[in-house]
Amino acid sequence: MGLIAPGNHGFVGGLTKLKFDQPVSNLELRLNGATFHTAEGDDGPADTFTVDLNNIVPDTRLEIAVTYRQADGTATSETVVVWKPRHDLGGMGATVVRVDGQIAGVFFKFWLPQVKNVFVRGSFNGWQDANRLDPLGDSGYWFGFSSEARPGDDSRPGDDYRFFVYTFDGKQSEVSDPAARQTIKTDHNEAADAQDANAVIVDPVAFQWQHDGDYVQERSDLHRYLIYQAHLGTFLSSGPVDQPYETFVTHAPGATPATQRGSARDKLAYVKDLGFTAIELLPIHEANGSKNAGYDASFYYAVETAYGSPDELRMFVDEAHGLGLAVIFDSVINHLTADPSHSSFSQEFIRGWYSLPDAPWSNQRQWGGSSWGPSPYWYRVEIANLLTDCMLMYFNEFHVDGIRFDATTTIPHFALRPLIERLRADPRGSGAYLIAEHLTPDPLPYVVGDLGFRGGWHKPTFDTAMGGVLQPPGRGDLDSLRRVVESDYQGEPATAIKYPTGSHDETWIAHGGMALAKRLGGASNPYVQMKMRLAWALAVCSIDTPMMFMGTECMEDTGWDTDDGYGTMNWFPAVGSRGGNFKQMIRDINQLRQTHAALRGANIDAKLVHWDNDNGVVAYKRWDQSGGVFLIMINVSDHNWGAREYQVSTDTPNSVWHECFNSQFVNYGGWTGACNSDGTFYPRADGAGLLQGINVAKWCLLILKQQ
C-alpha cells in the first residue's frame, strides 16, 4: 500500500506539508530513529499533514518514517529520505547539500508571498529559467534544488545567482538574495549598487579550522575580556585618503594560505601585545559603498567585499583564537542604509515585505533624529527569523565569541526577546557575550535583567567620566568617580562594558567626535597625558568589562573617520615617546588585571575604605577567594603628596603592602617621586589599618597588593 506521495521526496524545511496517496487516520513520524511527531487524526482521515520542523536540530539528511495503523491493529510503514537546510526557522539563501560527504548540489530558499513563480537564474544554468522554485504551501516560501550549482573551491569561484520573480499581473523582476553569503559584480550585472549585485554560493563547512578547538573553554569566561574595538578597514593603516582598506588577510600576488594566516596574526599580535583579550570589529557585513563604518547595511549575511571573502574572515577569527583573543562582531539589524538603491531589503517586489519605513521603533520616531533608513519588518515572523538566522550564522559559520547589537532601543521588544532566547539556546551561542548598545540612562536592568543579554555598553560611564571626573579643572567630583568605578552589573560582574576613553562614536569625526586627547585639551599638555592614563586605569580597575577604541593608545589629537582612519598617525611610537609611554602603561595594567582574579571576575569582594572629599582621594579594597588583596587608590585632584605623607585606611590592621601599579610612574611619562616601592620601602598599616605615609601623585591611580 503506497503511503508516501512523490512530492514528499526531496527537500523540506520550517513548516512542511506531507502529502499521502490515500487518507491516513493515525500518523507517527520518526526523525532519524526518534519519535518527534504524532497525529491521532481527531478530525478524521486526511491525506495532508502539516509538520513543524522549526525546532528540530538542523541536519542535512533526515529519514522520516511514516506509519499507517489500520482498524485491526496492523500497520504499514514507509521511509522517505529528505534534506533540511542547515539554518532552521526559515533557512533562506543557498545551502550546499552533501550526501555521503560529497557535494550533491545546492538548496535554494526564498520568501516572497503573493507572486506567481520564482526561478533561480545563475552562472550554472546560463541565466535561464531552468530552475523553478516550488511554493511551500501558502507560507510564502519558495524552495528548490540544483544539482548543477556549486560553491567555489581552489580551482573555481562559486556560482553566482539571482532570483527571477513573476507576478500574477504579468510583472517580472530580478531580485538579489537578501540572505546572500557573498556578493559580486559580474558582466551580467555591471551597475555599482546592491540591487544589481549577484549572490555567490558559499560553502562554510569547507574551511579547515586550526585553532578553534583550543579556544572553546576560554570563550565563555566573560570576566577575562579586555576589549579592543577596531574598524578593520583603517586598523593599523597610515597613508593618503585614497589608499584601499586593510583586509582580513593579505591579497599580495602569490600569497599562500600560510602567508595569509601570517598576515592576520601580524595584525592581531598588535592587539595581543597591548594585553587585550578580545577584539570587537565594527560591522563587517556588506555596506553602502566600499569605504564605510559598516552602520549603513546593504546585505546582512554577506561579508564586506572591501575586506575580503567569507573564508578569509574565518581565517582571521581562527588566527585570533590561536593567539588567545576572543572575537566579537557588531550587528546592525536595527536599520538599513537610507539609500534604497543600496539596500537588499528595498528592492522592487520585496520592499513592502522586508522593510518598514518610519516604523514606530525607528530612530526618527523615537528621538526625532535623521532617518537611518528603513527598519526590518519585525512584525513579520519570516523577517525576524531571517535576521535571527543571520546571528546564528555568526556563531556556527564564523565561530565568533560574541555579538554586539547596535542601538537596541530601535529594535522592538517583541522581536528582541525571542531573538536573544534563540541565540542563548544555540550550542555555540549559549556562552557567548551578547552585548546591547541600549542608549538610555540606566540600560542594564532592561537588557540584562529583562531581555537576557550578557552585557550592555555603558555610555553613561563615558559621559560621567568626561563631565564629572576628567574635564573639570582642579578637582573631579567623587560621586561621579564612584559611578565610573563602581559596578553597575546585573547578576554578574561582566555585564557593563565601560569605555571612559571613548568608543568609535566619541572619536568619529563625521559624528561630531574627536580624539580623547584633544577633547581633554591636547596631547602635548602634561595634564592631558596624566588624565588619559588615569582614564584607562579607571576602566581596568572597574569590576566590569573595559573597552578601548583603536588608536586611543597612541595618545594623539587626531580623530578617526571612515576614509583615511587616522591619516598618517604613527601606530608604533618610539619607546620613551608620549605614545610609547602610554602604550607601556596599557600593557602593564592590562596584564595585571589578567594575572590577578581579584581585579576582575566573579567571586570577588570590594569595599570603599577611604573617602577624602576635601582632597579628591578615594580608596577601594578588593579581594577574592584565592587570598589576593588589593588597595586601589584614586586621586582626581591637583593635590600632590610626595614625601610619604599621605595617610589612607586599608581596613586591614598590621599589614604590609607593595605597590604594583602607579599611573604616574616615570616610565609612563609621570613623576619621579610618585612611587611607593623601591625595593627597600614597603608601606605598612598600623593596628587600626592606617597606612602611615605614602606618595600620592595628582590625577593618579595606584594599586597596592597586600604582602
Give pLDDT, residue 258.
95
CATH 2.60.40.1180 fits 604-706, yes or no: yes
Rounded to an integer, what distance in angstroms lies between the CA atom of residue 531 and that of residue 540?
A: 14
Q: Which of 168, 112, 103, 101 is nearest to 135 (CA)?
A: 112
370 φ, ψ to 5°? -70, 155
Question: Does the pLDDT value for residue 621 go beyond 60?
Answer: yes
How much of the chain is in helix, strand and coil states, percent to nearest 5? 25, 30, 45
Contact 19, 3 (CB under 8 A): no
The pairing of strands 61-69 and 75-83 is antiparallel
**What per-residue confidence (pLDDT) applies to 368?**
67
pLDDT at 274 over 80: yes
Sketch the domain layout of the chain as residue ranges: 6-83, 93-206, 224-599, 604-706
pLDDT in tens, 341-364: 888 999 989 999 999 988 888 888
Strand runs (DSSP E) across 288-325, as ranges? 297-303
Q: Right CATH number for 6-83 from 2.60.40.10, 3.30.70.920, 3.40.50.300, 3.40.50.12240?
A: 2.60.40.10
Cα 308 → chain centroid: 18
> Residue 329: pLDDT above 60?
yes
Confidence band of 583 (pLDDT split at 50, 70, 90)? very high
Q: Is the model's pLDDT at 121 over the cut of 50?
A: yes
Report the 3 state secondary structure along 150-178. Answer: CCCECCECCCEEEEEEECCCCCEEEECCC
623-635 pLDDT, tens digit per residue, is 887 778 999 999 9
pLDDT of residue 187: 46
On the question of pLDDT at 83 being above 60, the answer is no
Q: Is the pLDDT of residue 278 over 80?
A: yes
Span of 227-241, 360-374, 683-697 with lowest mean pLDDT: 360-374
DSSP state of 504: H
SS3 70: coil
CA 457/CA 459 separation, integer angstroms:
6
Q: What is the pLDDT of residue 17?
A: 61
Q: Please tell me the number of Cα atoms within 13 Å of 645 on its side-chain side.
A: 7
Q: Work out the end-to-end distance of the chain between its first and last CA atoms, rounded to an integer number of angstroms.
A: 84
CATH fold match for the domains 93-206 and 224-599: no
Q: How confident is the model at residue 78 (pLDDT cuts 50, 70, 90)?
A: confident
**Range 600-612 average pLDDT:** 85
Sorting pLDDT into bands at 50, 70 and 90, what band is 84?
low
Q: Are 124 and 150 in contact (CB under 8 A)?
A: yes
**Percent over 70 (pLDDT), the chain:** 84
HSE, side-chain direction, 13 A CA sphere, residue 244? 10
Please report the pLDDT score of residue 362 as a whole number: 86
Torsion of CA 376, 378, 380, 384, to 10 degrees: 90
What was the pLDDT predicted at 564?
85
Query: What is the average pLDDT value for the chain, to the nearest integer?
Result: 86
pTM beyond 0.85, yes or no? yes
Q: Residue 609 in contact with residue 650, Cβ under 8 Å?
A: yes
C-alpha cell at 687: 593596628
Q: How far is CA 290 from CA 194, 372, 522, 565, 596, in A?
A: 12, 18, 32, 14, 43
The mean-pLDDT minimum among 7-11, 75-79, 659-663 falls in: 7-11
The pLDDT value given to residue 89:
33
Per-residue pLDDT for 10 more than 60? no
pLDDT at 33: 63
Between residues 381 and 61, the one the model is more confident about: 381
Cell of 204: 562554510
At 472, give phi and psi (nearest 5°): -60, 135
For residues 600-611, give the mean pLDDT.
Answer: 84
Q: How many CB atoms lie within 10 A of CB 214?
A: 12
pLDDT at 86 over 80: no
Q: Which residues contact 706 (CB under 8 A, 6 or more apart)?
A: 629, 630, 631, 650, 652, 655, 656, 657
User: What interhelical angle do 526-541 and 478-485 show, nearest 10?
Assistant: 50
Residue 640 buriedness (CB in 10 A; 0-12 / 13-18 / 19+): middle
Q: What is the pLDDT of residue 22?
A: 64
The whole-angstrom separation of Cα 439 and Cα 436 is 9
The mean pLDDT of 27-36, rounded to a whole number, is 62
On whether the CB atoms of residues 298 and 177 are closer than 8 A, the answer is: no
The pLDDT of residue 68 is above 90: no
**By C-alpha distance, which of 637, 642, 636, 616 is closest to 696?**
642
SS3 198: strand
- Length of the chain measured in residues: 707
- Classify domain 93-206 at the CATH topology level: Immunoglobulin-like (2.60.40)
Strands (E), 383-522: 402-405, 433-436, 455-457, 496-498
Question: From residue 673, how far is each of 576, 663, 664, 685 by CA, in Å?
Answer: 18, 12, 9, 21
pLDDT-wise least confident of 42-56, 255-269, 325-339, 538-552? 42-56
Confidence (pLDDT) at 378: 94
Q: Binning pLDDT at 50, 70 and 90, where does residue 185 land?
A: low
Q: Which residues pair with 172 in a beta bridge?
A: 166
Interval 281-290 mean pLDDT: 91
CATH topology for 224-599 is: TIM Barrel (3.20.20)
CA distance 308 to 443: 35
pLDDT band at 179 (very low <50, low <70, confident <90, very high): very high
**pLDDT band for position 1 (cuts 50, 70, 90):** very low
Q: Are 505 and 439 in contact (CB under 8 A)?
A: no
Confidence of residue 6 (pLDDT cuts 50, 70, 90): very low
CA proximity to 47, closest of 71, 68, 72, 32: 68
